[in-house]
Amino acid sequence: METDNAQNQNNAPASVDVNQPATQSEQALGEPAAQPVGEAPAPEAMEQQQNEENRAPISIEPPVGRFRAEGGQESFIILNPANQRYAFKVKTSNIDDWRVRPVYGFLEAQNQSELVVQRLDGPPTDDRLVIQYALAPPEVDGPRAPFQNGNGAVIGEVTLPVKGE
């Protein structure tokens, strides 16, 4: 019985030499080409690694807020999985319809903080809350300090879309 070069008698794929480029049939099947040892990673792999490194160290759950235009209140959790302490400041695109507390706060390393968002009665809107954050070493007095005097301490921000429907 003859066997195909790509399969053995059990219909299992034959071994692949990782030092050879992927064949057109392997690429057509969506299988990634094996990368020989010692070669630079593919541009896609480098982009994925950069995206992971540039990912914001803090996140918000849930990621979107939906409120009745007539008003309401919801709690969100700001998560800090990093090993660093951050100070945060919350800004809004529409101060007439939204209130938040706290406006300033600390996010301890590998911890979380509650953010309470209140929608006041008003017309339907699509707005956003922007949570800016800055490193906050233990000697920092109060969460406002990194954001005062325009000292450029902000290292990033996370946007929370909020909708009054």
pLDDT for 31: 43
Average pLDDT, the chain: 79
Domains observed in the chain: 59-164 (2.60.40.10)
pLDDT digits (tens, 9 = 90+) for 97-109: 999 999 999 999 9
pLDDT for 129: 98
Determine how many CB atoms are found less than 10 A away from the CB of residue 136.
Answer: 21
CB 111 within 8 A of CB 98: no
Enter the pTM of the model. 0.65
pLDDT digits (tens, 9 = 90+) for 41-92: 565 655 554 444 445 689 999 999 999 999 999 999 999 999 999 999 999 9
